[in-house]
Amino acid sequence: MDFSGLKIPPKICKTPPVFTPLYQTPSTSSLPHKERVMPDTESPLPIIEANTHLLLPTVLPALLEAEAEYAKAFAKEQHAKSTRRAYQSGIRLFEDWCQDRGFLSLPALPQTISIFLSWGATQGVSVSTLGRRMAAIKYLHSMKGVEPPTQSELVKATLKGIRRSLGTAPLQKVALTVEKITHLIKDIPPTLRGKRDRALLLLGFAGAFRRSELVALTVQDFLETDQGLRVFIRHSKTDQEGQGQEIAIYQGRLRVVDALTTWREAGAITEGPLFRPLRKGGKVLDQALAAESVADIVKRYAGVAGFTPQEYAGHSLRAGFLTSAAENGASLFKMMEVSRHKSVDTLKGYIRRAELFKDHAGSKFL
């Protein structure tokens, strides 16, 4: 089996491995319009290392050390890169917070976690974000071989109290339905950047893509047919092990295929990432666009179209397709073919919202 994709140090030493610093992140501040580059897959973001060297002899035979490096590399891949980045962000915030107050961050006391969560709640941090920060702190302790303090009754009680006080209903971003996306693309200029953005918005909508899926697409993932495109999605939120999923993109009146062809020809893109950042001079970079830039692009054109930018995000494209499909009578299972949802209940929410006024109980007497 080929394990060449794993990130193994290039040479073997006879001393315990040196762990990668936690806070090295790629700089993207030089890109215009908040466009960010997807982290280079050849240089993965550093993650917290497990203390595997504590279980091994001080000096390892070369073969055993090489095998240990493989074990660590596999352990790194248990989480998606986006999850690892989220953990790093949460851990960085927690460690800085502890340092400012003189608390020990590792191992942290349950009282420390409880105060940290309470502080976040008073700063307006959402319950879901607090939950993600808890998961990051748990990950930090687990990977260092320390019992996570997040499991204590005090921490659980604190988080439960915050949920009861603040509520847990997520803030829903507005869906870019077919009517809105049609209005939105009318204002996109025929520049190089405009051609890319038009293709990105239309494909993101037509394929109900998550933003991470959209920026991960490469030219090799597409097969053109008479009716549109067949797209192979190599990884997704619901396919972390990379079995792959294929969906169809219908050409239709939005002319999605034409928009992609126009962008590829204008950007001279024949292989590699489909959506890429641009320099101010119009140079197309080789790297993939960062997932966060999808939200930037959606908000930018939502504002140009006269919508409120803060109400929209990258998820508005996915939600817009599903809402439009439900409004136009698409079956639940045909919607799932495109969206690749694992849960029927999640999709039912889109259908319910689309049909709130259909055959309303009070329509004949109110």
Cis bond upstream, residue 107 (ω within 30): yes
How far is 94 from 152, CA to CA, in rounded Å? 18
How far is 251 from 362, CA to CA, in rounded Å? 39
Phi, psi of 233 (to 5 degrees): -100, 115
Give yes or no: 341 in active site: yes
Give yes or no: 79 in active site: no
Give yes or no: 300 in active site: no
Task: Assess contact for 255 and 228: CB atoms under 8 A.
Answer: no
How far is 280 from 288, CA to CA, in rounded Å? 17
Q: Which two tokens mark 291?
A: 């997932």
How far is 65 from 56, CA to CA, in rounded Å? 9
Give yes or no: 11 in active site: no
Residue 267: other Cβ atoms inside 10 A: 19
The catalytically annotated residue of 141, 210, 211, 276 is 210
Q: Residue 31: which region, alpha, beta or left (left: phi > 0; alpha: psi -120 to 50)?
A: beta
Give yes or no: 164 in active site: no
Give yes or no: 53 in active site: no
Q: Which two tokens mark 154?
A: 């005090």
How far is 5 from 143, CA to CA, in rounded Å? 22
**CA dihedral (144, 145, 149, 150) positive or negative:** positive
The catalytically annotated residue of 33, 156, 237, 264 is 237
Active site (catalytic) residues: 210, 237, 315, 318, 341, 350
